[in-house]
Each structure stands twice: as C-alpha cells, then as structure tokens.
Amino acid sequence: MRISKPNTKMGSIDFLLFATIMLLVAIGVVMVYSASSYKAFFDKSTRDSMFYLKRQGLWAIIGTFLMFFTVKFDYKRIKKYTKLLMIVSVIFLLAVFAFESRKGAQRWITLGSVGFQPSEIAKYIVVLYMAKSIELKGGRKIETMLYGVLPYLLVSAFYAGLVFAEKNLSIAAVIMIVTLIILYVSGAKITHVLGVVGLVVLGGIAGIIFEPYRMARFTSFLNPWSDPKGKGYQLIQSLLAMGSGGIWGMGLGRSRQKCYYIPEPHNDFIFSIIGEELGLIGCTVIVILFIVFVWRGIVIAIRAKDTYGTILATGITSVIAVQAIINIAVVTGAMPVTGVPLPFISYGGSALTINMIAVGILLNISRQTESG
C-alpha cells in the first residue's frame, strides 16, 4: 500500500481510454436508435421512430460535458464530499419507495418526464467510501478480518441491502462483487476474501430461492425451452437473434427480433440486437472495446500516485467491467436473466450520465500518474 504524494503534476489524459469510451457511447447511440425505432414508431405513446434516439443522444451530450468537467476536477477533492454523498445517496435509495413501482420493482425516482435510478449512484458511492477509508487506515489493517475487511462488508451490505429491497438483486450483487475486488487489490488476505465470497454466494442463492420470480428465472435459464412462451421466452428470442446474425450480421437496422419479439430490445438485451445486425464481428468489437477499457483502467490504477487514486480507479473499472460481463453473460445464456444494462450502450440517461462522470474521474486520475 502506497502513501499519498503531494504536489502531483497534471499531465495529459489516457487518450486510448478516452477514445474507447467515446466509441462505445457512439455505438450505443446508433444501436439504441436501430433497436428502438420499430417499437417507438408503432408505440401509441411516442409515434416517433427517433424518440429514443433523441433522448439518448441528448443524455450522451450531457454526459460528455460532465465527463470533461470531472476530467479537470482534481479527484482528490472528492474526499471531502464523501460523507455528504453517502448521506444523499441513502436518502435517494429510500425515496424510491415513495414512487410508483415499475413491473413490480421500485427502483426509480421520477420527476415529470425525467427519472433516474439511485442504485446507479450507490455503486460508485461505495467505491468513494472505500477509497477514502482504506487510504486513511493504511496497508496493515486491511489484512485483518475485524478491522480491515468486516467494516467495509457491513457498509457495502447496507447499500446492497437497500438496493435489494428495491428488488434489484443484480446491482446489489455488483456492489458486493466490486467490494470484494477492491478488498483483494487493497491487500486483504485471500482466505478472508474467499470466505466472504462464499457468504455472498449463499446470500445470492437465498435471494433466488425465497423470491418466486427469481426462482422462475433461474429454472428457465437451466432449460428455457421448457416454457418457451413464458419464462424462457426472452432468452430464446435473444439466442435466435444472435444465431440469425451469424458472422457478418444481417445489416444495421435489419433486425427482426426487435419487432416486438424481444421485449425492450434497446435496454438490457441490446447486445443480442448487435449480434443479429452486426454479427459475431460486431459483438467481438464490443467485447474488445471493454477489454481495452479494463486494461487501461488497470494501468491507471497501478500508476496512480496515491492509494486513493489506485482504489478509486480499481473501483470504477470494476463497476463497469462487472456490469458488462453480467450483461453479455445473460444475453448469451451463460447466466440467468437479470436486469443489468450494458454500460454506455443500453438505453438509459441516468446510467449513461453517471458512468461518464465516473469515467471522467478515471481520466483525471490518468492525468496524475507516475508516467504523467
């Protein structure tokens, strides 16, 4: 564990990371339009094939401006706002219960036509808290279970519990997985981490068993064709889309599964539309871009001049990487269906904006590295 070094000189941003993010966002805007145009045109509430394109494009522009702001905002200054951000995020997480549920879940705060999910903020708040606290504690305490690991697990479990109460097991799982990654990178003993992994897995299993709709999703994942018109429908349609695309794809805008076969094709299952329209080649490009993102995030974390920057870079990279892995695994049938959007690509203004703010912080850290 390293000690913070003062008087850090600002350098240039990691251009490869910046280019990767902007390319992912650009692909996302195009694919949101392609995946949503049919639904938006025939939907009585919109009647505009460009409805989702306009909204996603606007949020992409807003997110880009906010990203440039955080690129210039010294990440070390965030420390003094951590407690305030933690309190505000808890208030938001509780406030969702005052709003109407959507599809049986209460995840949204809606103000007029604008809404956002506080869980999108919570996963980064946990990262900010851990980065500040681990730097203050130093490297030795993190090796102990009582003083090093347990306090972070309790705080993360608290936030994950609030998210879980909103019936959002997937983001709750992301919070806990990212917590474990940060603890391991920070120097926690592997035996402690593995023990906690076991508890998290047991908690996840319990969350599935004691909630009927999650259990139904799990059983349909094992054999979606046992209920092809019910619980297995979404996964089957996703697999049909990706299989239809082949190697080269059917061509941009030529998806058939987006025509009311895959529900909400511009959201969690947009990767299957990419597979259908752009084929294996298009999917491979997306995967490579996320691999490049993870690679540059790791490099930035290693080169950061202080412990706070290292943990912050690790956490931000992990949040996006874990979500991307889960989303792609769900769409390809490698794990049960769950509501995790594909970062930078799936439709959703709040998620896109918050992710771009986080990336702006990551880029700011890249300006203050050993090689900067």
Cα–Cα distance list, 199 to 157, 180, 195, 205, 269 (Å): 11, 11, 7, 10, 30
Is 74 in a helix, a strand, or coil? coil
In this predicted structure, what is the pLDDT of residue 101?
A: 77
φ/ψ of 276, rounded to 5, equals -75, -40
Consecutive 10-residue runs of the chain (372 residues): their mean pLDDT?
50 94 97 94 86 95 96 93 95 90 77 82 96 84 81 94 88 93 89 82 76 71 81 89 94 92 91 96 98 97 94 97 95 85 94 96 90 50
Residue 85 lies in a domain: yes
DSSP single-letter state for residue 75: G
In this predicted structure, what is the pLDDT of residue 370?
A: 66
Residues 341, 203: Cα–Cα separation, whole Å: 22
Residue 1 lies in a domain: no
Residue 6 lies in a domain: no
Residue 130 lies in a domain: yes
Predicted TM-score (pTM) of the model is: 0.92
Residue 229 lies in a domain: yes
Residue 126 lies in a domain: yes
Contacts of 370 (CB under 8 A, 6+ apart): 303, 304, 305
φ/ψ of 110, rounded to 5, equals -115, 125
In this predicted structure, what is the pLDDT of residue 103?
A: 67
Residues 21, 309: Cα–Cα separation, whole Å: 20
Residue 24 lies in a domain: yes
Structural domain count of the chain: 1
Which domain does 248 fall in, by range? 15-366
In this predicted structure, what is the pLDDT of residue 27?
A: 97
Residue 2 lies in a domain: no
| DSSP per-residue letters across 93-158 | HHHGGGS--BTTB---EEETTEEE-HHHHHHHHHHHHHHHHHHHH-TTGGGSIIIIIHHHHHHHHH
